[in-house]
Structure 1
Amino acid sequence: MAHPSDTRYLVAPGGTLRGRLRVPGDKSISHRSIMLAAIAEGETRISGFLEGADALATLNAFRRMGVRIEGPDGGEVRVQGVGMRGLQSPDGPLDMGNSGTSMRLLSGLLAGQAFPVTLVGDGSLSKRPMRRVTEPLAQMGARIGTTEGGTAPLDLAPVARLTGLDYTMPVASAQVKSSLLLAGLYAEGETCVTEPAPTRDHTERMLTAFGYSVRRHAAKVCLTGGGRLTGCRLTIPADISSAAFFLVGASIAPGSDLILEGVGINPTRVGVINILRAMGGDIELMDRRTAGGEPVADIRVRHAPLRGIRIPVDQVPLAIDELPVLFIAAACAEGETVLTGAEELRVKESDRIQVMADGLAKLGVCAEPLPDGMRIFGGALGSTGDADTIDAPSIDAHGDHRIAMSFAIAALRASGPVAIRDCANVETSFPGFVELAGSAGLSIQATRG
């Protein structure tokens, strides 16, 4: 029986994706735009801001720290920056909701402030590992308390000063890198982070847009503390992580021909395109341009027969958030697809390896979870059965937005209806998903309770 607050997706089988559409603004860039605009000097005008719960958690946190923010209104936001030392102590804990990006990046930005602050989150976020950021921040002199398990809430105490750090990350993570660079803004001397593999570089690009000097030498990125940021104008491109559901959907649904407008194609984020092309996908990048310091293009994707591959390990950090929907592509491909080197998936909003394997099994797909990935044998997709009743068998998304949307897309190749439960968190990253997917040709309904 569904929980009274549960949101379920009921998706009819088959369909074709056609037309032109624009997915919401990039979530990663939306977070960073508010953070840097808040500590800049002067006004920053932002367009294309993602009005989902995750990004709004970041925005509301800075309002609670005394930053005047107008909007969002149709993606438009105006931030009156308070400068590097202008943030004020909030009147209570800052609630990050379900947003790991908000919590991890803010732990760095707030580590060097002159006031105490506590960061809290929902049940899911409170289970996610935080030592990966709190331990290197402690090496810089930060004082951050966690639970015994190294999870939130995070209690940040004021410190006399932070000291720059030369840190080599054991695991590639843009959130860890960004957290340390943001702390480095407040540290004495130079802060450097060396990556074992390339990760998204939105923080570095945006710091440069705000006039802050960032230096990159091969896999090492450095900055010196004590500088200043200057307000500017920012245009946030459409989110490639949101576009990924339609890239896969159009690839697997016969007769599909879809154009996705103004999508960010940052080279540290295009793993989903590279992997789909390696599987035989028909993807064309059109009208390449730059928006807000980020490369952007319109993406045309048409149906193509896919084949199983061994996903290159160097593409994993470039597609870490898109791997769940790529598992759907693998399930529809001919032959075997193997993913390794993606243990990070185990500590996302859910254990995305196990949860995806369980859902694929319900659709009759042979999916073998591995400690750091998955082995999937492509073939016909089944159905969860009659989706017309509240008690219909369903796939459990475990409150993970990417799981829910991935299995909604799977219905394009299913033999019967697909029901998915615990989908409410889709609105945190992709508000309007059901309506936009429906306009493109997916027969999807959302019900509550």
Structure 2
Amino acid sequence: MRASAAGAGSPGRGLSGRIGVPGDKSISHRALMFGALAVGTTEITGLLEGEDVLRTAAAMRALGAEVERVAPGHWRVAGRGVGGLVEPADVLDMGNSGTAARLICGLLAGHPVFAVLTGDASLRGRPMRRVTEPLSACGARFTGRAGGRLPLAVEGAADPLPLDYVLPVPSAQVKSAVLLAGLCARGITRVEEPEATRDHTENMLRHFGAVLRVEAEGHRRVIELEGQPELRAAPVVVPADPSSAAFPLVAALLVPGSRVTVAGVGLNPLRTGLFATLREMGADLVVSGARVEGGESVGDVTASFSELRGVDVPGSRAPSMIDEYPVLAVAAAFARGTTRLRGLGELRVKESDRLAATVALLAACGVAASVEGDDLVIARDGARAPGGGTVVTHMDHRIAMSALVMGLASERPVAVDDTGFIDTSFPGFVGMMNGLAGGAVIAPVDGAASPPGGVP
């Protein structure tokens, strides 16, 4: 069981340095899954070794793939081929990872196996019906708790049917689950999305040899996958996760005297909505060394302290930055003017009700924000946030990291009730931030009540 630990971010010195952040979580999950479905041995470098991804590695072992850690970030997967996964002998525990749970539902749906998925208290509260309903059309059967929640029993289809599915709302997880099920089906699986979502699954399908067609009309995209391909093992280089890079970069924008470079960040255009928004807010954000690695665009991103202004962020940008809204809201708390973040309904079904948790985070730090429908509105005068509160994280790693970043730039320290869940996506976060500051600006707290006083 993961140990909980309270912590606090304290205001102080500027941040400086060049760092790497953990590998992209979305790509890490998919690299392990596609390695398990491929013929041959896939070499993966830069894999995120956070708890979420380690759960996926364990699940692939349980489904019959040989998964070996060769060195830090370097993993080797000997796959079983499309349709070759075996029935697991025990329950698959996905911990806190909604991505792993939903994508593995797609994997299992196309294989004639029985499996049970579970997770921690947070994941057991998250809805799975959004994937189980479309996957049922291929012949798979799902039995779960009310609302389709975990624990979830899955009976995969012996002869899966190809799917033709129109996403009701943009969701890379649902799209990916349908495509994974379609790998085992005869014929063409077709997915239509109303707005383009992150396309790591499509990129990786091509990388491993699948035949895939994508047609785009404005924001709308149609993906067609030819079923039952023979995927071939292919090396995967995992870029640094832009969602993880967001925290040190936003901190550098908010703390006077800061200049921080994050090396090798994934710059897939369907993942860089935060960077576009920060630039609109006046952020000094520079990309250098742009290049392509493993089929994904990457580059080094440098952020320097900036005076930010409020902006109106369109809802169409949400799919490209859905995980970054809490830390963007923190940035907006230091901007001059009104920031309106539109179309955030999806945040209500993340690790926590992330929309409500973000509003509560700001309120705990003396910043008023309002929710109008699915929009979050933050009106500020450019002054430093008061800080001084304790933030309840609801077992959500991004809320915890966002609150700690806020504490670095606020007038007074900001405490969080639990930092333990940060390791699900960003192992070493606290040590890295303290290294950038040259001292313990983020420190453990005995208990979850009061933040420490004073600057370290």
- TM-score class, shorter-chain normalisation, is over 0.9
- What is aligned with 1:335? 337
Shift of residue 250 of structure 1? 1.1
1:371 to partner: Cα distance: 3.4
Unmatched runs of 5 consecutive residues or more in structure 2: 448-456
Structure 1 position 448, deviation (Å): 6.4
Separation in 2, partners of 1:273, 1:383: 25
Which whole-Å CA distance do the structure 2 matches of 1:136 and 1:163 have between them? 12
| Aligned residue number for residue 386 of structure 2 | 382
Are the counterparts in 2 of residues 37 and 79 from structure 1 also a CA contact under 8 Å? yes
Distance 1:64 1:112 in 2: 16
Instruction: Tell me the TM-score normalized by structure 1.
Output: 0.95
- 1:290 to 1:448, Cα distance in 2 relative to 1, 3 A: farther
| 8 A Cα contact 1:275 1:315, kept in partner | no
- Equivalent residue runs for 1:72-87 within 5 Å: 73-87=71-85
The aligned residue for residue 403 of structure 1 is 399
SS of the residue corresponding to residue 108 of structure 1 reads: helix
CA distance in 2, matches of 1:438, 1:173: 35
Q: Deviations over 1:265-304 (max 9, x none)?
A: 0010000101101111111110111111100000111111
Q: Is the 8 A contact 1:47 1:236 kept in 2?
A: yes
Q: Distance in 2 between matches of 1:131 and 1:47?
A: 33
Aligned to 2:418, which of 402, 417, 422?
422
The answer on whether the counterparts of 1:112 and 1:186 sit within 8 Å (CA) in structure 2 is yes
Aligned residue for 1:188, secondary structure, equals coil
Q: Would the aligned equivalents of 1:10 and 1:446 in 2 still touch at CA under 8 Å?
A: yes
SS of 2:402's equivalent in the other structure is: helix
Identity, % of aligned positions: 47
1:64 aligns with 2:66: no
2:263 pairs, out of 255, 261, 264, with 261
Aligned residues: 438
Partner of 2:235: 233
Q: Per-residue CA shift, 1:410-429, capped at 9, x if unaligned?
A: 11221111111122110000
Query: Which residue in the other structure is 1:295 paired with?
Result: 297
Q: Distance in 1 between matches of 2:103 and 2:174?
A: 8
**Aligned partner of residue 113 in structure 1, secondary structure:** coil
| Structure-2 residue corresponding to 1:171 | 169
> Are the aligned partners of 2:290 and 2:298 in contact in 1 as well (CA < 8 Å)?
yes
Aligned mates of 2:318, 2:83 — CA distance in 1: 38
| Corresponding position of 2:358 | 356
Distance, in Å, in 2 between the alignment partners of 1:215 and 1:440 is 44
Q: Answer yes or no: is the 8 Å Cα contact 1:51–1:72 preserved in 2.
A: no
Contact 2:111/2:158 (8 A) holds in 1: no
State the shift of 1:234 in Å. Answer: 0.9
Residue 345 of structure 1 pairs with residue 343 of structure 2 = no
Provide, for residues 50-82 of structure 1, a one-character-per-residue CA deviation record: whole Å limited to 9, x for no partner: 000000000000111221111062100011111
Query: Amino acid of the residue matched to residue 97 of structure 2?
Result: S
Q: Deviations over 1:339-392 (max 9, x none)?
A: 1211000110111111111121111111112331311122431132xxxxxxxx
Residue aligned with 2:153, SS: strand
CA distance in 2, matches of 1:210, 1:298: 27
Q: TM-score, normalised by structure 2?
A: 0.94
2:407–2:415 Cα contact (<8 Å) kept: no
Tell me the residue number matched to 2:251. 249
CA contact (8 A) 2:105 2:177 kept: yes
Alignment partner, residue 437 of structure 1: 433
1:278–1:205 CA distance, 2 compared to 1 (3 A)? same
Give the aligned partner of residue 373 of structure 2: 371
1:182 paired residue number: 180
2:223: which partner in 1? 221
* Matched position secondary structure for 1:215: strand
Equivalence for 2:453: none
Looking at structure 1, the residues matched to 4 and 118 of structure 2 have their Cα atoms a distance apart, in angstroms, of 23
What secondary structure sits across from 2:322 in the alignment?
coil
Structure 1 residues without counterparts, runs of 5 or longer? 385-392
Q: Residue deviations 1:293-316, cap 9 Å, x none?
A: 100000111111100011122211
Describe how 1:12-91 pairs up with structure 2 within 5 A: 12-71=10-69, 73-91=71-89
The residue identity in structure 1 corresponding to 2:223 is: V
- One-letter amino acid matched to 2:325: L
Of 230-239 and 66-75, the range deviating more from structure 2: 66-75
Residue of structure 1 equivalent to 2:285: 283
State the distance in 1 between where 2:230 and 2:14 align: 50
Letter in structure 2 aligned against 1:54 = D
CA contact (8 A) 1:365 1:380 kept: no
Q: In structure 1, how many angstroms separate the alpha carbons of the residues matched to 2:195 and 2:355?
A: 21
